[in-house]
A and B are shown apart, each in its own frame.
Chain A
Amino acid sequence: MNILVLMKVVPDVVEELEVGSDGKSLDTSFLRTIINERDDHALEQALLLKDKHGGKVTLLTLDAPDIDDVLFTALAKGTDRAVKICGVESVQSTQTAVKLFGDVIAKTPDLLPVDLILTGVSAIDDLDGLMAAPIAHQLGWPYTGVVTHVTLADKTATVIKEFAGGVRGEYDVPTPAVLGIQAAEKPPRYVPVAKVRAAMKSQTIETVDAPAVEAATTVEVQQMAKPQVTGHAEMLEGSAEDVAGKICELLAKRGLL
């Protein structure tokens, strides 16, 4: 069973984010990126499947600052191959990322065949789409998203998808398939720094050149701004009855009742 994992980095929201001078995008001078949490879960799910069934796990990423650390960490965790797509400047749109990944997967000779392509079901910067479905569409493979559990058998992956309120659904997906991972069965494993260092010494990261793709134009950011945050709760006043009523109102307004 061979698995390809697609991973990208997103802005680290632990850091203060600022709007750039164009008023439409993030200020990149202080931007720090971190791997998309769900992609990390996708990698973990792939490694769990490898632990169970054997086979190879290949990780494909877009180049980014500090991406080598991410890739070596993945190698230290048991990933077999780490490949990065070079020659892309920070990819702002998910559509572009989809095109880049799609092209590279189709054109790089030894990435396919695989049984599964796993990637995070969503990322915090996915403004104009989610990655997994369009890639599945390009490849003509089946797709299922919001997956939290995968079991592999010959030619079929049985996956569990999360709905709401703890209810989940079980699906059979014929392989090869693309899955959008919501969470791996276990939290991503910890790999000690020493092992990452050892991987840096003994393993290599492969590179492929980014194909030329035209950027998507149908979604355009006009303006970006920090939402107003007061840093303090909005206080509800009145008698217990009154506040209960007010809470009810706002729960209803938020679609929570």
Chain B
Amino acid sequence: MAGNIWIVAEAWRGQVSEITFELLALGREVAGQAGVPLEAVLLGSNARELAQKLGAADTVLYADNAALADPVPENAAAALAQLIKERQPAAVLVPLTNLSVDVGVVLAAQLNVPFLNYCKNLKADGGNLTATCVLYGGKMEATVTASAKPAIIGILPGARSVEQGRSDKAAAITDVAVTLAAPKVHFKKYLDPETADVDITQKDFLVAVGRGIQTKDNLELAEDLAASLGGAVCGSRPVIDQGWLGLSRQVGKSGMLVKPKLYVMLGISGAPEHVEGMKSSQCIIAVNTDAAAPIFNVAHYGVVGDALEVAPALTEKIKARKG
């Protein structure tokens, strides 16, 4: 294959986003198949120490420019466009996150090439890239070839594991220079969520408790788990009815509609009224003592067991892993 495989690293507020490592893992595979080097592009300002974390790539192209400090997609796209013109990669993998997707689409527009979207898997095969893309809200999967050069490919979160993309290897950093014009769009500031009032519809991680949690005191187990995940606790109606949680935490037909990345259910049977409010969650894990509970027809992963035992065990493991 002519040209290297690139991944665009996502660095945000002084940290490398985890999806970057997923892309590195995927890119590694694809580069291996194509027999070309894998290069990671990191755009930033005074972010060299972040570049060091990208050892899984053969080379890290690091562009340091004051204009790249803030999340301005226009600048990032312009920088990438320059680098691409200079170095002619075969494919550029972009994270499909709210932060990076704009970089990818603006870049594709500037280069006048398509932006291959919703990609969950990618293969290189005889000079061609074949992607598996998730369409129609997950109802179909398409196998797609992209012959554009370079192919700009948006990769869904979760394509590979973060672990696979981490490496202790010292990154080989190549400094690259980009010149940037003043952007049209001006970044003003970050708006952090107000912590006082938990809006469960805005959370990526939710731990939902049902009557299986049994007493109000056990709610603490769920709170701990949610805290370890960085999410919030919500519940089924009976739990809200008991007054264990406020009405704003109720998920379902008569409550909130949520679509978090992860929805952990502790002792919820899976009544249609509840399912209505959470069925679009990206990953659903249900813990229930009853193997025949209808929730297991909805959840992606199920555990037949006591939520009061599983929840604390999980909290410990997560804490241990996160360090």
Contact = CB atoms under 8 A, between A and B. Distances in A.
Interface of A: 10-11, 13, 17, 19, 24, 26, 94-95, 122, 124-130, 132-134, 136-137, 142-146, 158, 160-174, 177, 180, 182, 216-227, 231-237, 240-241, 243-245, 247-248, 250-257
B105 A243 contact: no
Contact of A130 (B115, B190, B301): B115
B185 A144 contact: yes
B34 to A, nearest CB: 18
Contact of A127 (B110, B118, B204): B118
Given A143-B185, A172-B188, 5 more contacts: A222-B145, A224-B142, A233-B297, A243-B305, A254-B161
Contacts of B322: 257
21 contacts: A128-B116, A129-B108, A130-B101, A145-B102, A158-B188, A163-B99, A165-B230, A167-B193, A216-B114, A218-B147, A219-B146, A221-B142, A224-B135, A226-B139, A233-B286, A233-B298, A241-B313, A244-B316, A245-B317, A247-B303, A250-B301
Nearest to A234: B301
B99 to A, nearest CB: 5
A13 B137 contact: yes
Contacts of A177: 185
A243 B303 contact: yes
Contacts of A252: 161-163, 321
Interface of B: 12, 18-19, 22, 71, 73-74, 97-99, 101-102, 105-106, 108-110, 113-118, 130, 133-148, 151, 157-158, 160-163, 184-193, 199, 202-205, 230, 261-262, 283-286, 295-306, 309-310, 313-314, 316-318, 321-322
A223 B144 CA distance: 7
A133 B105 contact: yes
B323 to A, nearest CB: 11
A236 B189 contact: no
Contact of A221 (B97, B144, B185, B316): B144
- Residue of B117, B202, B299 ringed by the most chain A CB atoms within 10 A: B117
A177 B99 CA distance: 19
B145 A220 contact: yes
A222 B105 contact: no
A257 B286 contact: no
A226 B135 CA distance: 10
A132 B188 CA distance: 22
Given A169-B191, A234-B300, A235-B303, A222 B144 contact: yes
Nearest to A137: B109
B127 to A, nearest CB: 14
B130 A222 contact: yes
B203 to A, nearest CB: 7
Contact of A168 (B144, B191, B261, B286): B191
A134 B184 contact: no
Contacts of B302: 232-236
B117 A218 contact: no
- Residue of B151, B191, B261 ringed by the most chain A CB atoms within 10 A: B191
Given A133-B105, A233-B299, A236-B302, A227 B140 contact: yes
A22 to B, nearest CB: 12
A223 B135 CA distance: 12
B191 A127 contact: no
A222 B158 CA distance: 23
A219 B295 CA distance: 39
Contacts of B283: 251, 254, 256
A127 B317 contact: no
A222 B133 CA distance: 11
Contacts of B110: 137
B317 to A, nearest CB: 4
A161 B12 CA distance: 15
Ranked nearest first, the 8 interchain pairs of A and B with the lowest CB-CB distance are: A166-B193, A233-B302, A244-B313, A218-B148, A137-B109, A142-B184, A133-B105, A240-B309
A145 B193 contact: no
Given A128-B116, A144-B102, A145-B102, A167 B190 contact: yes
B188 A170 contact: yes
B300 A233 contact: yes
Contacts of A11: 136, 139
Given A218-B146, A227-B140, A248-B321, A170 B303 contact: no
B114 A231 contact: no
A128 B115 contact: yes
Contact of A95 (B97, B114, B314): B114
Nearest to A172: B186
B192 A167 contact: yes
Contacts of B303: 235-236, 243, 247
Contacts of A240: 305-306, 309-310, 313
Contacts of A170: 187-191
A127 B160 CA distance: 20
A247 B284 CA distance: 11
Contacts of A231: 297
A127 B116 contact: yes
B109 A221 contact: no
A252 B163 CA distance: 7
Nearest to A19: B140
